[in-house]
A = this chain, B = another copy of it.
Amino acid sequence: MSEIRQDPTTEEWVIIARERTKRPHDFVSTQSKPESLAYLPSCPFCPGNEAMTPLETLSYPDKKTQRWQVRAFNNRYPALTPDGSTIRRKENNFFLGMAGIGVHEVIVETPAHNKPIALREDSEVEAVLRSYRQRYNTLSKMPPVKLIIIFKNYGLSAGTSLEHPHSQLVATPVVPKYIRLQYEVATKHYDSTGRCLYSDIVNHELDAGKRIVMETEKFVVFHPFASHQPFETWIVPTIHRACFGNTSVEELKDLAHVLRVVLLKLYQGLNNPDFNYVIDTAPVEDENKNYYLWHMRIIPRLTEVAGFEIGSGININTALPEETAQFMKELKVK
């Protein structure tokens, strides 16, 4: 029999479909990605092609090579741009709209065209995380910016066509409904318990134990009770901060290691699957409230969303998070 579980952060239900359940190793990709070179002359993100990218907003030098290690610049095809006003307008006195004001940047994570996070040194990953935080802290001070989403699309099915390792940052002029919903749920929990919902979740996951993938001093990694997708992975800090921009150097150092190890486990355990990851952080105006706890979510792209999900908003997860977490936990990597 299937089981229905409620995501405590959104109150969304998830069907854990036992009749269809696959074992963790059934998700191993049978198609390998083609091998590629460390440098591609035609790639706009490869060193030497800096002129092919728009306005640079950040560049970290690599002490060894005397060239850049990480660089950020405006997206050539931005979803949002910094011009315009946040004044709402109405079409036909009914439909609400506004200008697409905001920021859309690309962060190139490494000069090496063929080096996914899983195969880097911790220090290289740390530089990427520092660049995220720096761009976050610069852009969150722009008046129209209400929320900053930092994310990575890895692989074709995850929505990227450019192979060179990169992340993206979008600063929006509105707080999305989906985030408002999470805040409503978290605030209700805070009001009725006096505690942060996300800290409570981490504590209950630690008590339950069976969905924990790894633990360090500063982070807990688990597959959530109501995982929406197979191998959905959360990385949650033990130090309470609503906002990713407030993280310390030590936290980012630890996170770099944790993120690399988790992605290496996916890389080795599931044969380098496509994935998205996203940093969930408080809206800019709620950065210092105790209702929220920033965290990272990794979503490997192993299944398709179909009509049922579109109609109901309920995901059907064909994996048991207890089993996938155990699989990930036991996987030995360097």
Whose C-beta in chain B lies nearest to the C-beta of A149? Answer: B311
A305: which B residues are within 8 A, CB to CB? 159, 305
Known contacts A1-B100, A100-B3, A159-B306; decide if A311 and B12 are in contact (CB<8 Å).
Answer: no
Would you give the shortest CB distance from A118 to chain B, in whole angstroms?
17
- In the docked arrangement, what's the CA distance between A145 and B45, Å? 53
Known contacts A96-B5, A176-B313; decide if A158 and B79 are in contact (CB<8 Å).
Answer: no
A3: which B residues are within 8 A, CB to CB? 97-100
Whose C-beta in chain B lies nearest to the C-beta of A229? Answer: B310
- In the docked arrangement, what's the CA distance between A289 and B8, Å? 29
On whether the beta carbons of A15 and B179 are closer than 8 Å, the reply is: no
A279: which B residues are within 8 A, CB to CB? 311
Q: Which of A17-25, A135-143, A325-333 contacts B (4 or more CB under 8 A)?
A: A17-25
Would you give the shortest CB distance from A180 to chain B, in whole angstroms?
8
Whose C-beta in chain B lies nearest to the C-beta of A150? Answer: B311
A79: which B residues are within 8 A, CB to CB? 2, 15, 17, 19-20, 308, 316
Whose C-beta in chain B lies nearest to the C-beta of A158? Answer: B306
- In the docked arrangement, what's the CA distance between A307 and B299, Å? 9
Q: Which of A29-37, A59-67, A166-174, A262-270 contacts B (4 or more CB under 8 A)?
A: A166-174
Give residues of chain A (114-152) contacting chain B, Cβ–Cβ below 8 Å. 147, 149-152
Cβ of A297 within 8 Å of any chain B Cβ, yes or no, is yes
On whether the beta carbons of B168 and A307 are closer than 8 Å, the reply is: yes
Would you give the shortest CB distance from A134 to chain B, in whole angstroms?
19
Give residues of chain A (148-190) contacting chain B, Cβ–Cβ below 8 Å. 149-153, 157-160, 168, 170, 172-174, 176-179, 181
Cβ of A16 within 8 Å of any chain B Cβ, yes or no, is yes
- In the docked arrangement, what's the CA distance between A25 and B77, Å? 20
On whether the beta carbons of A4 and B174 are closer than 8 Å, the reply is: yes
Would you give the shortest CB distance from A97 to chain B, in whole angstroms?
4
Residue in A3, A17, A95 with the greatest tally of chain B CB atoms within 10 Å: A95
Cβ of A319 within 8 Å of any chain B Cβ, yes or no, is no
Would you give the shortest CB distance from A212 to chain B, in whole angstroms?
13
A50: which B residues are within 8 A, CB to CB? none
Cβ of A217 within 8 Å of any chain B Cβ, yes or no, is no
Cβ of A200 within 8 Å of any chain B Cβ, yes or no, is yes
- In the docked arrangement, what's the CA distance between A4 and B204, Å? 39
Return the contact of A151 from the options B5, B207, B311 (Cβ within 8 A). B311
Cβ of A10 within 8 Å of any chain B Cβ, yes or no, is yes
Cβ of A44 within 8 Å of any chain B Cβ, yes or no, is no
On whether the beta carbons of A310 and B13 are closer than 8 Å, the reply is: no
Q: List 10 A-B contacts (CB under 8 A).
A: A2-B79, A3-B98, A4-B80, A13-B177, A17-B78, A79-B316, A151-B308, A177-B313, A178-B313, A276-B306
| 13 additional A-B residue pairs with CB within 8 Å, beyond A153-B307, A299-B310 | A13-B176, A17-B78, A19-B79, A91-B225, A149-B308, A158-B306, A159-B305, A170-B308, A181-B181, A276-B306, A277-B307, A278-B308, A297-B311
Closest 3 CB pairs of A and B: A2-B100, A178-B313, A159-B306
